[in-house]
Each structure stands twice: as C-alpha cells, then as structure tokens.
C-alpha cells in the first residue's frame, strides 16, 4: 500500500524577468509484511529547482535534490542517501506560445559509486511496479 505526502514551497516572481525557487518534501512508502523478502521500502526526497527567466523568451532551469531510501529485509536494514544529479535546461520560446526549443543536460552531482550491499535496495527502488519517484535514478545506478 503506497503512502505519499508532500509540502511544496514556492518563492519568486510569477511573470517577467526574475528567479523562482521551488522545494518540498516527498515521502513514499510501501509496506508488504514480514512474509516477503522486503518488509517495507520507504523513500523521502527533497527536490530543489531554480528557474531564471532571461527576458521574455529565454529561461534557464536547474533541478536537483537530496534523497534517502531504506528497506527492512529478512536479513536486516538497507539504506542509501545523498544528493541527486542536477538537470540543467535552457528553453527558448522561438515563437511565443507556439514553439519552444529546449536543450537539457545532466551534471553528475550525485553518487558515482554505491556499496554492493545497497544493490538489493536499488533494485527494489528501480522496479516499475512500485513507481517510486527516485526509481529512474535507481535504475541508472543499478
């Protein structure tokens, strides 16, 4: 059974030139019971994004965050946490309201290696059955 919650925060200008910052806390958990290999898997993330408008047609966005995941298994507790990679996007409104050109890249600000003991947890997070928000990052690391 999924448990989800979040409290988004937003600050900054809504229109025109300027910067907007967004953050929040997202908690997700799945509880299976002690008769399975994983009793439960939980994850919480603190996503952070900055968006800076450079005039009426150009925007730069940065997205990153911090994530923590843990699972209780039949052989003990597994946990992993740390900063996530940072996505950078440059968007240009070539034809306002009709055509937007975007270029996106990822900066490797997250973990580059993980302990082999974390692999079962990363595999559980990566499964598409659960649909955890960190799942795509875990799939890349696994």
The DSSP secondary structure of 31-73, one letter per residue, reads E--TTSSEEEEEEEEEEEEEEEE-SSSEEEEEEEEEEEEEEEE
Range of the domain at 99: 2-141
Bin 67: left if φ > 0, else alpha if -120 < ψ < 50, else beta: beta
pTM: 0.71
Residue 142 confidence (pLDDT): 40
Stretch 128-135: mean pLDDT: 62
What confidence tens digit (pLDDT) does each residue in 15-45 have? 566 899 999 999 999 888 888 888 889 999 9
- On the question of pLDDT at 1 being above 70, the answer is no
How many domains does the chain contain in total? 1
Q: How far is CA 12 from the centre of its chain?
A: 21
- On the question of pLDDT at 71 being above 50, the answer is yes
Question: In terms of pLDDT, which residue wins out, 139 or 89?
Answer: 89
* Cα–Cα distance for residue pair 71/1, rounded to 1 Å: 15
């Amino acid at each position: 059974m999924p448990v989800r919650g979040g409290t988004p925060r937003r600050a900054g200008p809504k229109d025109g030139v300027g910067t907007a910052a967004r953050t929040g806390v997202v908690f997700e958990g799945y509880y299976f019971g002690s008769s399975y290999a994983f009793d439960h898997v939980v994850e919480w993330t603190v996503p952070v994004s900055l968006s800076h408008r450079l005039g009426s047609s150009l925007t730069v966005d940065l997205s990153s965050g911090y994530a923590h995941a843990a699972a209780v298994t039949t052989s003990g507790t597994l946990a992993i946490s740390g900063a996530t990679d940072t996505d950078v996007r440059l968007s240009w409104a070539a034809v306002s309201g009709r055509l937007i050109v975007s270029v996106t890249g990822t900066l490797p600000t997250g973990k580059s290696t993980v302990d082999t003991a974390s692999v079962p947890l990363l595999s559980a997070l990566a499964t598409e059955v659960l649909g955890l928000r960190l799942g795509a990052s875990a799939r890349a690391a696994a």
